[in-house]
Structure 1
Amino acid sequence: MLLCLLGIASSLDAGTNTAENHPQLSWKNGGSSVSGSVTVDANWRWTHIKGETKNCYDGNLWSDKYCPDAATCGQNCVIEGADYQGTYGVSASGNALTLTFVTHGQYSTNVGSRLYLLKDEKTYQIFNLIGKEFTFTVDVSNLPCGLNGALYFVQMDADGGTAKYSDNKAGAKYGTGYCDAQCPTDLKFINGIPNSDGWKPQKNDKNSGNGRYGSCCSEMDVWEANSLATAYTPHVCDKLEQVRCDGRACGQNGGGDRFSSSCDPDGCDFNSWRLGNKTFWGPGLIVDTKQPVQVVTQWVGSGTSVTEIKRKYVQGGKVIDNSFTKLDSLTKQYNSVSDEFCVAQKKAFGDNDSFTKHGGFRQLGATLAKGHVLVLSLWDDHDVNMLWLDSVYPTNSNKPGADRGPCKTSSGVPADVESQAASSSVKYSDIRFGAIDSTYK
């Protein structure tokens, strides 16, 4: 009886104040059109007392009264349905999804968003990328330094965790179950339980904090970009599923060493600027970020094996192959990601090769074969101002690989971009999935 009561006490459920109407988003699987939709992550949702409008989470703090511990918090609180346009600046039309950076709603100001593609009202769309190609069109012309329009895949549970964790009653419909290779501890709910125990507000983010636990899983960053820089990056974890970590085992986010978790936080990135080509991506360059561009990513392999990740761009009626590396420290040129490239790149930059240590492409194939959920997001960086993507980082370094993009090291400060670039946006459209060399034009 006690166990049953504890299960009920800590369960994550949904409120009834706002109906959850998912924005519709169509996409193509092979030659067939698919009617899908998107849902916003549970972390962005209003969390309040059941049957009331009193906040359980306000600003970057859990209520001492309603959430003195996780079990009591779960008993008292629910997450609410979303007003996508009015609260989050999210709009969908046909095959296009637009995310606005800062939205001043009726009750709050929202910054950034993270959404997932749904198969149906209760299930995320699952993609097996091995031997396949994923293509989309993106417009980053309105994304300045310091912002990241990120489209990527993570090994989340298709139902958001409801089958695995009985405490999770909200599920994929309400955007639960997030995980990634950074083992984030800023999630308000993990495994259907509030992450309120040990919660500490972030000093430089009025909306976020960090709890005791984090949520780890493998991550395939197909696209991280603004108008000045871009990269694509696989990350792997030791476990082939979502796993909750505790404290220092979550790595840097949990107060431990950056490489102390069971995941590879750095990944193996292909960033054209960082790899020596400074004329490839940007306004007026070979891939002109003043115009929309079709992005094609191919995972070469079969079964549970991936050997290479290739990239192409299509713009102005032309297919543009990915740039080649231009570094004296690399004995050969590369324009794709593979185990060979990753080892060579890490050696050239003097970086910790945690990607290889956690299994490299062998582990990448194993996790991709399990199927991944598509994430579409827009965010700023309260840790290092996005300098790891678009500027020199570490800022005082002149070692190879530190120069990652053309943005100033003083750029990307969240307070600045949130006030000066509030109307920034990214538009994702025309998602296509199919056999290699079949989805682009």
Structure 2
Amino acid sequence: MTWQTCTSGGSCTTNQGSVVMNANWRWVHQVGSTTNCYTGNTWDTSICSTDATCATECAVDGADYESTYEVTTSGSQLRLNFVTENSNGANVGSRLYMLADNTHYEMFKLLNQEFTFDVDVSNLPCGLNGALYFVTMDEDGGVSKYANNKAGAQYGFIQGQANVEGWTPSSNNKNTGLGNHGSCCAELDIWESNSISQALTPHPCDTATETMCTGDACGGTYSSDRYAGTCDPDGCDFNPYRMGNTTFYGPGKTINTNSPFTVVTQFITDDGTDTGTLSEIRRYYVQNGVTYAQPNSDISGITGNAINADYCTAENTVFDGPGTFAKHGGLSAMSEAMSTGMVLVMSLWDDYYADMLWLDSTYPTNASSSTPGAVRGSCSTDSGVPATIESASPNSYVIYSNIKVGPIGSTFSGGSSSGSSGSTSTSTKTSTTSTKTTTTATSTSTAVAQHYGQCGGQGWTGPTTCASPYTCTVQNAYYSQCL
């Protein structure tokens, strides 16, 4: 599939990329034969007695993506279908990584950049998650690091090992289970979504690169202590519905999920350079020629519409107690991971652990609707059961397309703009500037923005004057900077 790299002048160059299926979805068989190493949700221990032995005795095969997984590409478009009946039974969901070539992942460095894509979630009901995100992984898939890893970026296991030792088949999923090993890596969830709800969530880790973990020390969903690992499992999320904006996103709402739209995410650094430290993550949406800023939080104690240190502290305090975002380095740790380059992942999945209620319903399910942060979407707490979705909505799908990356303001043309409340206003956009006539907030602050600080833009309520000798310079309609 194709994607584009843009320049500050607005011109974009098309790149020819490709995507590769995660090894968990592939046929694993004995080397030199067609004997399965893994059938259903169980390993054949006569072949796979240890993690290392399994990695040398078994091979991970290629596949026909369309007939096996119903994964298709066309130009810049990637379509992932939910349930696919094939000669081996039924495949459910998929997870794909972008490759630069057959042996290397495409490594995206997003500091002081923006990342833009189009998405169609109109056929994703409650309980499904069409996710687009970035993770830290070895560029070559670990071939140069791990002797047992002969497959690398196209097919590889975790650090060249299988996950046989300590394996427990899932009690409610005929295809999966849990082993002793996990992979801890920073994850930048640009987009977790269905037609009802969506969230933007950075998850920092103590280390910038991927590490293998063992047992409960992995933390996360399936550990006895969710917070025992070296990464933040909850992250610092911005879900407009969870932030009290219940009319912004969904079928027939401001961002109407019955139709495709564009998602723009900007990664602002403290000094306005590609080598600076991540200080803020901003979000815009474009639909039918209208640009919408992320709506401001409507939750008492949480302000603003961007992810920054103050927002994350407030969100953890109001929703989750202390949280572990800051403990694991917060945006600084996320910045370190981003500086190494991250791999783009696109997926479609259902949730056998929590029925995706954490994304689109009330969660925990016994929480009062008046509990801050508990209501994340309008789906019923009885929704999202995988067996039900797989039976009732097998033809669900998500489409990602028109992926672009470049300097702030280079990857999209906003057309007319709207206020952060979602109400449309009139505006005029030229190649670099925009005139807003009705809903732009006016700052009453007497503060002065410092060098590289923001000093204006749609919805900006902070300082509009720069410290001497710097000048407030318009980068685009949504961001002006002291330069």
Q: Structure 2 length as normaliser, TM-score?
A: 0.82
Query: Which residue pairs with 1:182 in the alignment?
Result: none
**Matched residues in 2 for 1:105 and 1:49: separation?**
22
Query: Which residue pairs with 1:423 in the alignment?
Result: 395
Q: How far 1:75 sits from its partner (Å)?
A: 3.1
Q: Is the 8 A contact 2:55 2:149 kept in 1?
A: no
> Structure 2: which 5+ runs fail to align?
7-11, 414-483
Query: Which residue pairs with 2:359 in the alignment?
Result: 389
Q: Is the 8 A contact 1:249 1:256 kept in 2?
A: no
Q: Is the 8 A contact 2:56 2:148 kept in 1?
A: no
Q: How far 1:254 sits from its partner (Å)?
A: 5.4
**Cα deviation per residue 1:33-63 (whole Å; 9 max; x = unaligned)?**
0000000011111000112111100110001
Query: Which residue pairs with 1:117 in the alignment?
Result: 98
Bigger RCO of structures 1 and 2 (CA < 8 A, at least 6 apart): 1
Query: Which residue pairs with 1:127 in the alignment?
Result: 108
Query: Which residue pairs with 1:22 in the alignment?
Result: none
**Matched residues in 2 for 1:62 and 1:335: separation?**
47
For the pair 1:402 / 2:374, whether they are aligned, the reply is: yes
**Cα deviation per residue 1:137-193 (whole Å; 9 max; x = unaligned)?**
00000000000000000001111111111211101122x3xxxxxxxxxxxx32111
Larger radius of gyration: 2
Q: Is the 8 A contact 1:246 1:254 kept in 2?
A: no
**Cα deviation per residue 1:297-343 (whole Å; 9 max; x = unaligned)?**
0000131401100000000011111111111233xx31110011000
Change in CA separation of 1:272 and 1:265 when aligned onto 2, cut-off 3 Å = same
**Matched residues in 2 for 1:427 and 1:70: separation?**
36
Q: Structure 1 length as normaliser, TM-score?
A: 0.90
Q: Is the 8 A contact 1:247 1:256 kept in 2?
A: no
SS of residue matched to 1:362: helix
**Matched residues in 1 for 2:56 and 2:110: separation?**
39
Q: How far 1:64 sits from its partner (Å)?
A: 2.5
Q: How far 1:253 sits from its partner (Å)?
A: 4.6
For the pair 1:312 / 2:293, whether they are aligned, the reply is: no
For the pair 1:27 / 2:40, whether they are aligned, the reply is: no
SS of residue matched to 2:412: coil
Q: Is the 8 A contact 1:214 1:254 kept in 2?
A: no
Query: Which residue pairs with 2:408 in the alignment?
Result: 436
Q: How far 1:372 sits from its partner (Å)?
A: 0.2
Query: Which residue pairs with 2:39 in the alignment?
Result: 58
For the pair 1:354 / 2:324, whether they are aligned, the reply is: yes
The within-5 A match list for 1:15-414 is 25-30=1-6, 31-174=12-155, 176=156, 189-253=157-221, 255-301=223-269, 302=273, 303-330=275-302, 333-398=303-368, 399-414=371-386
Same amino acid, percent of matched pairs: 50
Change in CA separation of 1:145 and 1:37 when aligned onto 2, cut-off 3 Å = same
**Cα deviation per residue 1:370-428 (whole Å; 9 max; x = unaligned)?**
11000000000000000000000000012210111000000000000111111100000
**Matched residues in 2 for 1:415 and 1:103: separation?**
14
Aligned residues: 402
**RMSD, matched Cα:** 1.1
**Matched residues in 1 for 2:310 and 2:146: separation?**
39
Q: Is the 8 A contact 2:364 2:374 kept in 1?
A: yes
Partner amino acid, structure 2, of 1:416: T
**Cα deviation per residue 1:103-123 (whole Å; 9 max; x = unaligned)?**
111123111100011111111
Change in CA separation of 1:137 and 1:271 when aligned onto 2, cut-off 3 Å = same
Partner amino acid, structure 2, of 1:351: G
Q: How far 1:72 sits from its partner (Å)?
A: 3.0
SS of residue matched to 1:403: coil
Partner amino acid, structure 2, of 1:99: L
Change in CA separation of 1:304 and 1:46 when aligned onto 2, cut-off 3 Å = farther
Which has the larger helix fraction? 1
Change in CA separation of 1:317 and 1:194 when aligned onto 2, cut-off 3 Å = same
